[in-house]
Structure 1
């Protein structure tokens, strides 16, 4: 059933002009890079000239001002585009992106009956949390794709709008690159601070242009942008001020007052990072005398000693994951542990050095032989765990080892989680309770969990 709600006051002439400007910029970009998508009679018009752009924008404003609902407005835009472009181009990605960006200007998008093709391809997260916007002074800051991916890990809302300001006639192929990455390009005349001024003027009304905007990245090293950041923050937006200092990008969060540093240097691959992390964990174990080290502490040391930002590494190699997941990706080298759902994660390393034995010492069961043994009773399980502890060289000075390490070694040798084995044997209670019931073991509880030793 069509939606007959009238346009809200937000869709005044200024709002319609924003929509018309989007359409105009899209036509200019298509003519520049894909003129074959335009109908022949529109290919020769010099759309890049300010006079032609102004006339086109005014025509669209006049046309759209006659609509009485958002559905009608979108339909009118699509009919107009059909009259300008070849039929094959109306379903192209650039036109789809244009309609999506226009829909972002409608604060009631989730309440309106907009055709599926015209809606934003976004998750429920973006509907509930809003969107993030990037404002880039391309004359002042080079924001490469890797850095942009890092920014996406910082904000809580998806980045849906990206706008770059520069005199594109002297920026080489940067306009092509940014356009392909989904940026709207706003051209300014040559001259000092022209890009700054345009970005400030445009950005100061970002909350009006994009009512769903919740977070804004202001990307420029010029201190004059501080006023823009303060202005946006006063309107309830979370503002990240992004600047460059040498080979680092600094990201200042106005809400928390914290600065995150992103290195522009080469990001190491995960395989080369593992030995560095192991070394840091081992050094901290020796320094503190503790078997388990906080994951956050390891990442602090990584940043301080090696100038490597773990969030940056994850954004490059494990997008969508959390920094701690690098340890989970290498279970043969690390063990993760937390005492309860609300506690921090701790990490330790496996020691792979072989045990030094005397020639007269009886050989102990290898992991391969242990793997083949069948555990069909509580006694057999007790003996298998005892064997694991006897073969382990990770005992502390008092002869104890963390229960989590024992559980991990059990799974490695038997290809089965200890909790699964306990359930299969119909033993009541969890792993620590089972250990307490066995005569072979002694337990003690520490601030980060249970440890077990042999009697």
Structure 2
């Protein structure tokens, strides 16, 4: 597998993102040690994916790689993970990397997974714990896509599904539910007959199904409040499920948190590498069209959404949960430089590796070359490097001042080290802003909460 570096890197990246999602949705599945790791830190991500890639490269072939991955996951994930929809999705997508020409049915894979020796032992550890789904079929319609969402919500597998209705009035709906594994419970015609039967049977779940740990009550009616309270008092976690147009609304009685899930299928989120390539293509296209180096970030966002039917926020939230878009692009300083005008909230972005010397200067838009790298082995050398960067940025933006964050971002991209770290190496006992203020060729001013820097003529 050492020759499959691209595949292993892609798998490591995908596994990392899957762990982030699991941490957000089911933190109880991760061991305490792994739960407290800095998962949103870029340096930790690089370290984790690199170590995982090294471990996976030890596999003799691609089938062995999947087994190796499962063995690694079992060291920090709880047994419940390995009988969840999340695990099935993970393996299905990993197989797309290892066996791209092989079509794998998720349901068939679930059956195979349960015969894996390790997974079988994990199932035994669960002590047969499971979740129960109660569906008021006269009030709420659950298709297979909605049901899959239910499976992802629960900690335990949904082993029992009960649907209540007067089936004579619902056409072939009973056949569809029966084929999907529901036990159909018929009630006589009459108002609230299904509600009453569902409440009656549900109120004795802990007696009839002592291994049940979770109950999903699927109905938009408010008549089940008493049932929810009763189940909670007997130690079960209750999820109230309702539908609102193309959205599934889930209320978790234990956390008192409401989550909303869209039933509209979104385009596949691209890998981080593909996303960076897509953004670069958009920026290059706009640069050629406008003859400007700097492109408004809002314009890039608009073009990305038009082309890929995804927003920047959707993609960046997937890869960098909880971080603002601007912060993410500042971290991607090997590829992009972000700039904010002194008198505007508008953000601009350009490619760090853009060859400015190829731009055709005009009378109104003359572009100087990129700053020439200087040796930074003294305070004077550091000041010279910053002055050159400020010269470049102010010339490109036609502004007297630029944001000091933009200067720091370009410095790190150019020299491969953060400006604060460079200052510590030189034993400069001052803050970044204070150092800029001490530079004879630079001037600093504060605008609102931001510090700006320009050239002192």
* TM-score after normalising by structure 2: 0.46
Larger radius of gyration: 1
